A and B are shown apart, each in its own frame.
Chain A
Amino acid sequence: MSGTITRDDFARMIAGAAASIRAQHNLLSELDCATGDGDHGSTMLRAVERLERSFAPGGPEDLKVCLREAGWSVLGVDGGASSSLLGTFFGGMADAPACNEPIGTAALAEIFEAGLKAVQKQTKAQPGDKTMMDALVPAVQALHAAADAGKSVMEALHDAAKAARAGAEATREFTARHGRAKFLGEKTRGHPDPGAVSTSLLFEGFSNGLGESKGESGNA
């Protein structure tokens, strides 16, 4: 495979993420019933639908424009904190100068880093607080590490998916300290955080989506 990915590859990553959420949305709602409203699955379904629409064939060719639109569109899902943070994440990616260049592993890490930075501007949640950050932060770190190690984009996304999954799994043992779930305190232990799980599903989907398009297996 070539060393860089295109806007259309990005669209395949998004399609992979959507497929991954569609396959598991019932699980997300069940997890959310334990510590929240039980609406996380349906919120994520609406979010990935809008992501896909922003990257639909015939849409803008410019990745920056697609990401900006995707972010704004996900903010409009009206699904409480989840869609606000997710929309901020995709919208924030558009701020990375690397969007305008051929996207190799380092550029991809930079784009995801810009998304993470935008999210961190809106929430004080840190890894360990039992939120989506427990999956997102290690995933972005894995992209950077892969870039430093000279790995391909495909390998980097594979590593990121693995890191996100491990991060989401670890939330099972944490106590919520942010969002509405923090008021449940110790009662949140034993349940993985739905936001961290959905974030890890997105990353697995990115990896699978690109893997399929490149004829490689992206399964974690």
Chain B
Amino acid sequence: MKMKKFINKPENIVPELLEGFALSHPDQIRLVGSNLVARAVPKAKGKVGVVTLGGSGHEPGLSGFVGEGMLDVSVPGEIFAAPGAPRCLEAIRLAQYGAGVLFIVLNHAGDVLSANITMDMAKREGLNVKMTLTHEDISGGSNPEDRRGLVGFLPVYKVSGAAAEEGRSLDACWEIAERMGRNMRTLAVAAQTATHPSTGQPIFELGDDEMEIGMGQHGEAGTGRMKLKTADETAEIMLQMLLDDLEAKPGEELLVIVNGAGATTMMELFILFRRVSQILKAKGIKLARGKVGEFITTQEQAGFQLMIARMDAELLRLWDAPSNSPYFVVR
């Protein structure tokens, strides 16, 4: 399959996409320093800053969530590659408003490495930073270190960002982020590969009639590749695995996110969400909040991520709090 993308020179993809992103949301974000994405209007002094990092090519993740009530600064890397420690450190210095910085890191090898080096440097400088790692992909197995960070970043940004906006302490914001993290689970399924925008090569191979749950992985969850199933069948399989892993019980309140990978349509995502909602109802589990959309994508990959999270009253209140980022607005 030949790559068909509207790009210019491959080496200019990241700076050009960031420029366009900033130009399209001038009221919410701006580019500062070495292409860091920051709020157009910095947060008031005395509040905790919230910073994240991650490779590009997953738009609107992660910089699409910089804005009031969510992130202060995002450090975008090259295509699918973590940014290095120097720019992360620059972001953490930038987000110091006097109450410290919460550094939210998705569990991927390159991101964690950069983040750990950044934390060492930040400590050497005497900066007040706490790091939280999101790792909620259950296909990684039972060891938390092997669980990758997927769309669960969204509720973590949202609730800890809202806590920071309320003026809570760094310890409190960190505790909220960790609590959100502990209570969420995600599974991804891929139905069609994507091409790497820089190389034009497919990022993995998948048969015409196949799908893979726990995409890109090696069957650790005991599912792996199978013939393509209907929306209802796929939702049933994935939701059951998530509910089992979370040990969700009747009466509990869940947040559910269905995140499109890039080529799967909103039409399909709604059909999937419908079935998830029906199953929860049948089990007596409350669908407290739901969200369907594209929050983190992988180019023209077909597939989706299904996330469930157990919510308590405080987490729900923070999820509902106002936010004004380019790709997540709550009024």
Contact = CB atoms under 8 A, between A and B. Distances in A.
A130 B326 CA distance: 41
B265 interface: no
Contact of B78 (A78, A179, A180): A78
B283 interface: no
Interface stretch (B110-118, B179-187, B274-282, B300-308): B110-118
B80 interface: yes
Interface string B46-84: 000000000100000000000000000000011111111
Given A33-B201, A38-B201, A39-B198, A87 B109 contact: no
B199 A84 contact: no
Contacts, number: 84
Interface residues of A, number: 29
Contacts of A29: 199
Interface of B: 55, 77-87, 108-110, 113-114, 116-117, 196, 198-199, 201, 203, 216-218
A75 B218 contact: no
B303 to A, nearest CB: 15
A54 interface: no
A37 B199 contact: yes
Most buried by A among B80, B82, B110: B110
A190 interface: no
Interface string A16-48: 000000000000010001000111000100000
Interface stretch (A96-104, A181-189, A207-215): A181-189
Interface string A79-118: 1110111011000000000000000000000000000000
A133 interface: no
Contact of B84 (A77, A122, A180): A77
A81 B82 contact: yes
A10 interface: no
A185 B113 CA distance: 21
A184 B218 CA distance: 6
Nearest to A79: B81
Contact of B117 (A38, A77, A88, A185): A88
A84 B82 CA distance: 9
A183 B113 CA distance: 17
- The 6 A-B pairs with the shortest beta carbon distances in the complex, nearest first, are A185-B218, A80-B81, A80-B110, A81-B110, A76-B86, A179-B109
Contacts of A88: 117
A37 B85 CA distance: 20
Given A39-B79, A76-B87, A80-B81, 18 more contacts: A37-B81, A37-B199, A39-B81, A43-B81, A75-B85, A76-B84, A78-B81, A78-B87, A81-B109, A81-B113, A84-B85, A84-B110, A84-B113, A84-B114, A88-B117, A179-B110, A180-B108, A180-B109
Nearest to A85: B113
A122 B113 contact: yes
Contacts of B116: 122
B218 A83 contact: no
A85 to B, nearest CB: 7
A217 interface: no
14 contacts: A29-B199, A38-B198, A77-B84, A78-B81, A79-B78, A80-B81, A84-B110, A84-B113, A84-B117, A85-B113, A87-B84, A87-B117, A180-B108, A184-B216
A197 B86 CA distance: 26
A37 B203 contact: yes
Interface string A158-178: 000000000000000000001
A74 B48 CA distance: 30
Nearest to A184: B218
Contacts of B117: 75, 84, 87-88, 122
A83 B198 CA distance: 18
Contact of A33 (B83, B199, B216, B217): B199
Most chain A CB inside 10 Å of its own CB: which residue of B55, B78, B217:
B78
A95 to B, nearest CB: 12
A183 B216 contact: yes
Contacts of A187: 218
Contacts of B83: 78
B5 to A, nearest CB: 16
Contacts of A75: 84-86, 117
A83 to B, nearest CB: 6
Interface in A120-153: 122-123
